[in-house]
């Protein structure tokens, strides 16, 4: 709440600064806008940015640094036995929970501010007062944790107060500096555009550095994993059997096979339906039909993947069993349970239809009308024009749409967990349960496991594998796009 109000105050100060800067510029020009170097709004924006940008930078840095400082101070109060007996994150979770309970107790009048500030852990009433506001402090929570929560609360309150004062001082100082610069000869437009350019460069840098950070995080932990587990066994092993007590078999091939098998089935469903839908919408549908069908297709993209997973588990799986199971009406006996590759593949294909359809539709509509008119002028029919002119010209964009669908299929988790099962096996039977790389990443990092063990670090090796596969797909798609773009432009 404090953070929200501070940001609102900064925005209000920026608005006031904008008005003052614009007014001062007009005043310096004697009310004649033609005497100004830049438009009046640029002077207002210059003062507003001078007030807002430094304050926001200070605010962001403070938000990033303060928790680390407070956590280090608080952790020093907790004994080594408590840290070894429970994970540090769990201890800090108790500290923050109790600190919030102290705030709640003060706001409800159960405890005074002085009692919270001078916490006496030997007094059993403290625990009773916290329980009265819904913060249960059991016997497993030591007195040191209670004292750490009291310090955490005090330091957080002091830090927030100092942050507010510093940010507001910087905002006001920036506004005064901007107003001092403002006169009719000041190049306000250049100053504003410089700031905007710097913000855009910063945004691009953040995006790039985020990607680099993700890559290095995966690489370093993957190297750590390969120091504990042979790389050859991981890359070429055909058995996946993690055992946290040791002696694990961590071969990735069964997981890669399940990932590609399910993705291929999904693409076999999504690409034809999505592409044909896009062709109909772009070339054949009337405006009235398009206004109904296109939004209806795009609704599929907004459905959460967990819903698709439940749909696979509760509807598609049992329906397939009723057809291909031992007692199915086809009498084939191919399918033993609802969780299977075909179940996840079909549902994932339905999920991918809007990605292929919407993007392909936009690409087909972007093909110049002159190409169609030239084809009709040569006597080609509608279908011939679509098949021999429009689709080849739109092929680079369609390849991108298929790539996006493939990347989404490879990275999908919930549909696989609920629809495909958890068995890691090499099999061509689509009616058997299998699993994927993403599902096992979740499985290996779930629970209270030793993070330095090969069975936990293998998740990063799996992630690096997916990263490399996606990179290869992007390079291949880029090659296809460049080749056909040169041909049809």
List per-block mean pLDDT (blocks of 10 residues) for the chain, which spans 489 residues. Answer: 80 91 86 82 90 91 85 70 55 71 67 61 57 57 69 80 91 91 86 90 91 88 87 85 75 90 92 91 88 84 86 87 77 78 91 88 86 88 88 83 84 83 84 87 74 81 88 77 61
pLDDT at 85: 46
240-488 under CATH 1.10.3720.10, yes or no = yes
Question: Tokens 């039909």, residue?
Answer: 289
Say if residues 405 and 486 touch (Cβ distance below 8 Å). no
Instruction: Determine the pLDDT at residue 458.
Output: 87
**How long, in residues, is the chain?**
489
| Closest by Cα among 300, 320, 310, 324 to 419 | 310
Beta bridge partners of 249: 241
CA dist 451 and 453 (Å) reads 6
pLDDT value for 201: 94
Which tokens in the block code for residue 457? 């670090």
CA angle centred on 278, ends 272 and 281, rounded to 5°: 140
Looking at residue 48, what is its pLDDT? Answer: 92
Rounded CA separation 21/33 (Å) = 14
What does the pLDDT read at residue 270? 92
Tell me what pLDDT residue 276 has: 92
Contact 165, 118 (CB under 8 A): no
């Amino acid at each position: 709440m404090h953070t929200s109000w501070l940001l609102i105050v900064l925005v209000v100060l920026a608005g006031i600064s904008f008005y003052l800067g614009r007014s001062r510029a007009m005043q310096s020009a004697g009310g004649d806008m033609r005497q100004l170097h830049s438009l009046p709004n640029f002077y207002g924006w210059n003062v507003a940015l001078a007030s807002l940008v430094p304050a926001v930078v200070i605010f962001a840095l403070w938000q990033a640094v303060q928790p680390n400082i407070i956590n280090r101070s608080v952790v020093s109060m907790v004994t080594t036995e408590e840290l070894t007996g429970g994970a540090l994150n769990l201890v800090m979770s108790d500290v923050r929970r109790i600190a919030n309970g102290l705030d709640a107790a003060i706001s409800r009048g159960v405890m005074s501010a002085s009692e919270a500030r001078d916490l006496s852990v030997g007094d059993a009433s403290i625990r009773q007062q916290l329980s009265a506001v819904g913060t249960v402090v059991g016997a497993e929570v030591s007195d040191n944790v209670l004292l750490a929560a009291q310090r955490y609360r005090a330091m957080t309150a002091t830090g927030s107060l100092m942050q507010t004062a510093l940010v507001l001082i910087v905002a006001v100082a920036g506004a005064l500096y901007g107003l001092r610069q403002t006169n009719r000869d000041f190049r306000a437009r250049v100053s504003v555009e410089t700031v905007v350019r710097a913000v855009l460069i910063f945004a691009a840098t953040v995006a790039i550095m985020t990607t680099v950070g993700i890559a290095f995080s995966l690489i370093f932990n993957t190297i750590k994993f390969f120091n504990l587990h042979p790389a050859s066994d991981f890359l070429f092993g055909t058995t996946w059997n993690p055992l946290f007590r040791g002696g694990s078999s961590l071969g990735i091939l069964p997981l890669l096979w399940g990932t590609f098998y399910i993705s291929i089935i999904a693409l076999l469903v999504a690409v034809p339906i999505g592409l044909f839908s896009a062709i109909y919408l772009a070339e054949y549908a009337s405006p009235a039909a398009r206004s109904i069908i296109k939004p209806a297709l795009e609704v599929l993209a907004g459905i959460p993947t967990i819903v698709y997973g439940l749909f696979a588990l509760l509807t598609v799986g049992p329906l397939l069993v009723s057809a291909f199971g031992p007692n199915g009406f086809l009498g084939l006996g191919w399918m033993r349970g609802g969780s299977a590759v075909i179940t996840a593949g079909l549902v994932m294909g339905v999920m991918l239809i809007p990605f292929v359809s919407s993007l392909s539709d936009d690409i087909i509509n972007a093909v110049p009308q002159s190409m169609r008119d030239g084809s009709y002028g040569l006597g080609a029919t509608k279908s011939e024009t679509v098949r021999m002119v429009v689709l080849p010209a739109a092929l680079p964009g369609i390849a991108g749409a298929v790539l996006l669908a493939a990347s989404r299929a490879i990275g999908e988790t919930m549909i696989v967990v609920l629809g495909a099962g958890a068995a890691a096996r090499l099999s061509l039977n689509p009616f058997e349960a299998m699993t994927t790389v993403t599902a096992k990443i979740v499985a290996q990092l779930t629970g209270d496991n030793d993070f330095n063990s090969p069975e936990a670090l293998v998740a990063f090796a799996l992630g690096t594998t997916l990263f490399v596969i996606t990179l290869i797909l992007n390079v291949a798609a880029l090659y296809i796009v460049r080749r056909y773009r040169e041909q049809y432009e």
